[in-house]
Amino acid sequence: MTRTPVEGDLRVRQLRAQQMLRGELAGRDLDEFVEERLLFTKLETAQNWARKNAIFPLGFGLACCAIEMITVIGSPRNDLARFGAEAIRFTPRQADLLILSGRVSIKMAPIIRRLYDQMLEPKWVIAMGACASSAGMFANYAVVQGADKFMPVDVYVPGCPPRPEALIYGIMKLQDKIMGNPDMGWRERYQAYGTEEREAEPPRHEGGLEVPRRG
């Protein structure tokens, strides 16, 4: 969105505004006045700008990360209202953003999927915390190993639990994504090719950490 700055100090601008309201500006003065206050943008950009500044999160919390999410929403110190996401809706049909805060157990996964399906487009998902992103420390039978196994996730916020500031940073990244400017991944940003891990040596002794595969 481009915009020309409005010239002059406050008193000058006030006088010009008064003149405009009285209908005293004409010709080139009027043209300049209008041009200074016009915004040129694409409809898509304006729509995205409106969308990103008025996200309606779904009031949904699973476990410990939910406490930090409630701290983000409810605490006066770091609050979500300044990002426009103050209106928490508890019904998925009126919500935009599903913040998966907490560990997703196998009993809960179909319910979350149903909630996600009930949300209307456009909708976004933030996987908050290590457990929602990738099961965190719980590599066991009861936790779905990452929420992206059954639903698309837009932003992953790591941490156990992530600080409220980290969640807000994740929401800001989501806002960037909504605007159409997603951040590049770190490999592209730092041109970090050739840093992939090499094939591991097979362990030479018994007793290495063995994680059973799909047990």
Partner 1 sequence: MDATGLELIAQRVREAVGDDAVTDTSFHREEAMIGIAPVRVHDVLEYLRDRDAEPWPYLMSVHGCDYLPDEPRLGVHYQLLSMERCDRLGLKTRLGVDDPHLPTVIDLFPTADFQEREAYDMFGVVFDGHPDMRRILMPEDYVGWPQRRDFPIGGEPVLYTFNESKYPRWYD
Partner 2 sequence: MTDPLSVPYRERERSVTMERMGEEPVSGTEATVEGDLHDELFTINIGPHHPATHGVLRLLTTLEGEVVRDVKPIIGYVHTGIEKSCEDHQYWKVITFVERMDYLAYYFNAMAFCMAVEQLLGIEVPPRAQYLRVAHMELNRIASHLFAFATGALDIGAVTMLWWGCRDRDLVLDLFEMSSGQRMHPRYIQVGGVMEDIPPGWEQKVRSFLELMPKRLDQYLALLDRNEIWLRRLKGTGIVSQERCLELGVTGPLLRATGHPWDLRKAMPYSSYDHFEFDVPVGTVGDNYDRFKVRIDEVRESIRIIEQAVDGLPEGPWITEDRKVALPPRHELATSMEALIHHFKLVTEGFRVPPGEAYAAIEGPRGELGCFVMADGSAKPARVHMRDPSFVNLQALPEMAKDSLIADFIACVAMLDPILGGVDR
What, of partner 2, partner 1, none, does residue 200 touch, CB below 5 to 8 Å by kind?
partner 1
Q: Are 91 and 120 in contact (CB under 8 A)?
A: no
Residue 6 in contact with partner 2, rule: CB under 8 A? no
Q: Binders of partner 1 among 80-139, rule CB under 8 A?
A: 106-107, 135, 138-139
Shorter beta-carbon distance to partner 1: residue 139 or 172: 139
Residue 141 in contact with partner 1, rule: CB under 8 A? yes
Residue 149 in contact with partner 1, rule: CB under 8 A? yes
Q: Dihedral, CA atoms, 68, 70, 74, 79, nearest 10 degrees?
A: 50
Q: What is the Cβ-side half-sphere exposure of residue 60, based on CA atoms within 13 angstroms?
A: 27
Class of residue 99 by CB neighbours under 10 A (exposed 0-12, middle 13-18, buried 19+): buried
What, of partner 2, partner 1, none, does residue 197 touch, CB below 5 to 8 Å by kind?
partner 1
DSSP class of residue 105? B
d(CA 111, CA 108): 5
Q: Binders of partner 1 among 2-31, rule CB under 8 A?
A: none
Question: One symbol per residue from 92 to 131: x for binding partner 2 (CB under 8 A), - otherwise; what is it?
Answer: ----------xx-x-xx--x---x---------------x
d(CA 184, CA 193): 14
CB of 62 to partner 1, least distance (A): 15
Cis peptide, bond prior to residue 57, ω within 30 of zero: no
Tell me how many residues contact partner 1 (CB under 8 A). 21
Q: Are 56 and 85 in contact (CB under 8 A)?
A: yes
Residues that bind partner 1 (CB under 8 A): 106-107, 135, 138-143, 145, 149, 196-200, 211-215
Residues that bind partner 2 (CB under 8 A): 59-64, 66-68, 70-71, 74-77, 90, 102-103, 105, 107-108, 111, 115, 131, 137-143, 160-161, 163
